[in-house]
Structure formats: C-alpha cells, structure tokens
Structure 1
C-alpha cells in the first residue's frame, strides 16, 4: 500500500474505479450498518462462485458516494470495503481529480 499519497479529496477514486470486489466481510458489515440487503448494493458477477461487486449509480459514481453542496462523502466510510481502505495500493491507482475540479471543494468523511 502506498502511504505517502497526496489526497486531493475530490472523490475521483469513487467515480473512476470501475470494479470494487466485495468480500463476504465487506457485505456483512455493510448490511449490518445500513440495514440494506446485499441485493441492493451489489452486482453479482458470478453469484454461484460467490463473487460480488459493488453496484454503481447510472452516472458511474460509487453506490455509497453522496454529494451535498459540492462536498462529497462516503455514506459507509467507517465500514468501507477493504479495497477502498487500501486504495491506492499501486502507483497506477493514484487518481488526480480533473473532473468537476472547480466544483469540488473537499471530501467530507
């Protein structure tokens, strides 16, 4: 995991990360915290093999990304999936926000 990343707090990683695979622990924690059944926030790629991915909104945003008055926040931040906790794990994953840069002020957690 990269530890010296400069975060611009723009939520680009929550808008551009195409696949977020969820572990069983991720799914359980989200279900318990939100009281949503997994069918609401997951996209089963191979349900028979137990492979689930996080659902995205029609605009490509993470299902749990919210925006209010130009501020973005994660609705499940304290129990966010492991892949989100360790992002960016590789230099290639570093995303520098270029979308809505004039609108985005901060990522509120």
Structure 2
C-alpha cells in the first residue's frame, strides 16, 4: 500500500483449487493519468520490433527507411526509439498540463504492456516501487485489470 490506498485487490482463489495463484490473482488497478513519467527520466530504451516500425511509419505516413533514419537507433540488442536531449521519448507531447503520446494508437508493444511487466509483477513490493513513479498504478478509481489481461501483457514476447 502507498498513500493509504490499496493498489492490489485481495486474492480470491477459485473454490477448491488449493492454489492462490500469483499475488495479483485478484487483479490490479491501473489507469493512465497522462503524467508522462513512463516516457521521461534518465536514458533508456523503447525497444521496437519490425512490426512496430512498420506500424509507426505507416501512421506517420513516412517510408520505413525515412522513419528509421529519423526516429530509430540500432543497438547490438535490437532497435530502439531515439530520445530527446533531456531523455524524453521523441514522441512525447505536452498539452494543457498533460503528457500525450504522439503515436498512441500505434505505440510500441513495450508501451502497450506497461505497467504489467515482469519486473513490476515479481512481488507487491516491486509493484509499489514502480508505483512510486507512476500515479496510475495507485489510481483508486482506475479499472481493475483481470489476471488474464495482466498475464497476457506479462507474457507477451515483446514485453520487457
């Protein structure tokens, strides 16, 4: 718990199952608050698949080679979006006090699966640590994401 508000719902195992499942079996609340914290901070990587690059280039109405030349850096581990000098995501836009993704409908899978990443789901403590930077993970009014959705994000091959 942080700020006196629960962020994980109680676990309710299936009757007679004898198993409680993961600590988040009852679901987790999350609602994006458009704070932009996940798109800012120190240097980092937003990993891209080839499918991500094709989708984003099409959305921006750019040939793939122009998109990759302008927005993608090739690293030994793969491809990542470039960052601004202050390390903000290149597609982060600030409007009316909100942080907005300029490519939200086609954002990379890494962004689509936040905050349900392995590193955040290891324990309630790891969830709380991530929630210290992400107010949406503490949002009492946020929707409850079911175990099935959480696991689909966590286990997606392109999720960190």
> Quick check: TM above 0.5?
yes
Unaligned runs of 5+ in 1: 98-109
**Higher radius of gyration, 1 or 2:** 2
Question: How far off its partner does 1:6 sit?
Answer: 5.0
Tell me which protein shows more strand as a share of its residues: 1
TM-score normalized with structure 1 length: 0.72
After TM superposition, list the pairs within 5 Å mapping 1:7-86 onto structure 2. Answer: 7-16=32-41, 18-36=44-62, 37-46=67-76, 51-86=78-113
Cα offsets for 1:63-82 (capped at 9, x unmatched): 10011232221010000000
Count of paired positions: 94
TM-score normalized with structure 2 length: 0.51
Q: Distance in 1 between matches of 2:110 and 2:38?
A: 11
CA contact (8 A) 1:26 1:82 kept: yes
Q: 1:4 aligns with which of 29, 35, 43?
A: 29
Q: Alpha carbon RMSD of aligned pairs, Å?
A: 2.4
Is the alpha carbon distance of 1:29 and 1:56 closer, same or farther for their aligned partners in structure 2, counting shifts above 3 Å? same
Asked which structure has the greater RCO (Cα within 8 Å, sep 6+), the reply is 1
Q: Give the structure 1 partner of residue 134 of structure 2.
A: 96
Is the alpha carbon distance of 1:59 and 1:45 closer, same or farther for their aligned partners in structure 2, counting shifts above 3 Å? same
Cα offsets for 1:20-44 (capped at 9, x unmatched): 1101111010111103421111111
Unaligned runs of 5+ in 2: 1-26, 121-126, 136-160
